[in-house]
Structure 1
Amino acid sequence: MFRKKYDPDFKLSVVKEYLSSDSLTQEDICNKYSISHSAFFKWVKKYEDSGYDDNVFNSKKR
């Protein structure tokens, strides 16, 4: 099985959609975009830990 690569802009838009919604749950977002719960949880945590830096997903791993 392979890991799907998600575009940084996609990650940011999905996380922002979740955080700005009063009604969407993590389950709703994961189902809507076919994202694994673990990946989505990591994205949200990374965004929150960055202090809500919109560039947090643009950094390349070295």
Structure 2
Amino acid sequence: MNVAEVMTTRVVCVDMDDRLTIVKDILDKAPFRHLLVTEDKQLQGIISDRDLLRCLSPFIGTRC
């Protein structure tokens, strides 16, 4: 099996300057958990639903 057989072909990008509320809205409505982050049409990184949760609550993933 190769990557092409299992990858997601629907790609959604957000801009580096977009607000996190936009990311939350997209992830709430979409069946995937990662968004590509671009600037000037160049890939800069990936933001995940976990990244968003860490911004909302810095205690996620730690022992409180």
Per the normalisation by structure 1, the TM-score is 0.34
Please say which structure displays the higher CA radius of gyration: 2
Per the normalisation by structure 2, the TM-score is 0.34
Greater relative contact order (Cα 8 A, min sep 6): structure 1 or 2? Answer: 1
